[in-house]
Amino acid sequence: MFQGKCLIVEGRSDKLQIAPILNEHVTILCTNGTIGVHQLEELLDPYEGCELFTFFDADTSGDKLRALMDRHYPEAEHLRTMPTYKEVETTPRKVLAMILLRAHFSIHNEYIL
């Protein structure tokens, strides 16, 4: 069983955008788009002891994933990109860094405004 922080994103591009910003070990999991309850449970089961965070796009798909997480993992904290950018992968890294910093993630200094 894993411990620590676990960040759930929609896709690989989101993961690649966020990973270089982090200055601590964080498990980043991808839902690879829309996911059902069974697949979500299979994905997250090994991370039962982790502190869960989500970082989904500001769109309908992201809203559905947040609702699914709320129903089955209400302890998860939702991080949100600004509606201006809509997608995590297109959000500038310095903006992502500020969002992550507010959620108490350790960030590399070069990304702090």
Which pLDDT tens digit goes with each residue over 43-67?
999 998 999 999 999 999 999 999 9
Residue 38 burial (C-beta neighbours within 10 Å; 0-12, 13-18, 19+): exposed
pLDDT (tens digit per residue) in 16-30: 999 999 999 999 999
The secondary structure of 76-103 as a DSSP string is PEEEE--TTT-STTTS-HHHHHHHHHHT
When the pLDDT of each residue in the chain is averaged and rounded to a whole number, the result is 94
Domains of the chain are 5-111 (3.40.1360.10)
pTM of the predicted model, to two decimals?
0.93
**What 3-state class would DSSP assign to 107?**
strand
Question: Which band of pLDDT confidence, cut at 50, 70 and 90, is reported for residue 113?
Answer: confident
Amino acid at 14: D
